[in-house]
Structure 1
Amino acid sequence: MSAIDDLFQKLRQEKRKALMPFVTAGDPDLDFTAAVLQELAARGAAMCELGIPYSDPIADGPVIQASYTRALGNKIKLEQIMSMLGRVTPQLSAPVVSMVSYAIIYRKGLEAYCDEAQNRGLAGLIVPDLPVEEAATLSKICAQRDLSLIQLVTPTTPRDRALRICETSTGFVYYVSIAGITGERTELPPELADNVSWLREQTKLPICIGFGISKPEHVKLLAPAADGLIVGSAIVRRVAQAGELPREKVLADIGEYVASLIAALD
């Protein structure tokens, strides 16, 4: 079993749901990324997503795109990100998964990337631009290393295709709450709960909802339907303030925000 399987088994036994914050690697620098990961875990985040900056991000809204641009402008390299992970993951109570373009994995080599991910303490990969038809090879390599390969289902995914995605996913299924790009929303689609309810009938995997979640009200609304909730842009926007405000203040703000979401989740 992977670390993610163990996590959700424990959460189900305790009748709890997972809050899963997202942070961009290297924005504004890797030392601060490590500090944010530590703060998120200390505040009770069940899992953390680490975005690997990419020049052509997939489905990311302006807040996360800007964070990728800042990180790439600082000449952040994959090897540096992995080195940081190797230092920080042993200190965390929450597993970390990488949100990474397949182009980055392919360029490094599928086995080489997965070996590095395993050695540096990653628990899984989310690869948003990997079609389910082409996922078999990477899925096999991940399985050999107890890495979860988490795939995405969207509101516009045909149901027969959603079934195939569930069959080839491990760890959990990432359900995209809205058609479009990431970003904070004031409201979420009314049909969201029904879509997730249908998906739950098709798979035994945990289902985690992401895109557009930013408020305790969103968390309270979706918690009954989901096993976990993913929050990205609202955290990345707060991290961006580290360029102007004292870092201790920014970390405290991020921690308090995440704590408010966890309180709503429980």
Structure 2
Amino acid sequence: MSAAAQRWSDALAAWTIPASILDQAPQSPWRHETATFVVDETLDREVQSARVAREVLPAASGTVLDVGCGGGRAAMSLVPPAERVIGVDADPRMLAEFTSAAASVGARSMTIEGRWPDVAVDTPVADVVTCHHVAYNVADIEPFLMALTAHARLAVVMVLPTRHPQTAFNAAWKHFWDLDRPTSPTDDDLVAVLAELGIEVERWSMPRPPLASATADPATRVPTLRRRLCLSEDRDDEIAEYLESAEPLWASTHTVLRWPGQP
């Protein structure tokens, strides 16, 4: 493991929730709601990440491999010119949404259930590999990145917030648990890992892209924060009062990275 990869791994390890808090949690704080990642009317096909990927996609019959695909927002923003999309995700509910989204836009699709790079050996090579909002979940980052690169004929396009997304809840953790949370790793730390792997990266910034419309429902705010903070339903009034004056502080800027594939 390179020095940069070790720093990345150590920084993610610092996000471990103390056992005294996690053991009493009614729900897993790491679970994602499927509705957050579905393809709907909020999908913007002209965001920087989509433009960067389309620059290298063939004009016809292109293929996209979407790793950590969720409901397919990254892949479907590239249809057309992409005609075939391959989704990899550990959650079968997400893969069902991916298949449905592909059918709705007229793309041929394939899904592979499992964690990357564990399932890389069963995954076809594609023209472009996309990987959006996944990197901060990966402690062993070098094999993850190398497998992405090996599956791209033309390029890998990765998107991540400039800082770990869970920093949005740091103030809430302090308020409810008097717990100080980390602030790293960042996008710069990932670029450092890629540099130590000898991968030359192009880099752009873009505003935080929209999420699926279900996330805008005010009714989801309290249960989402309750789950993230390992709290119980009897704290809902307190959570609602807190949210009146303290919204989660999401990173307003996301980073787009593109590098050549090496199939």
Between Structure 1 and Structure 2, the one with more strand by share is 2
TM, length-normalised to structure 2: 0.34
**Bigger CA radius of gyration:** 2
Which is helix-richer, 1 or 2?
1
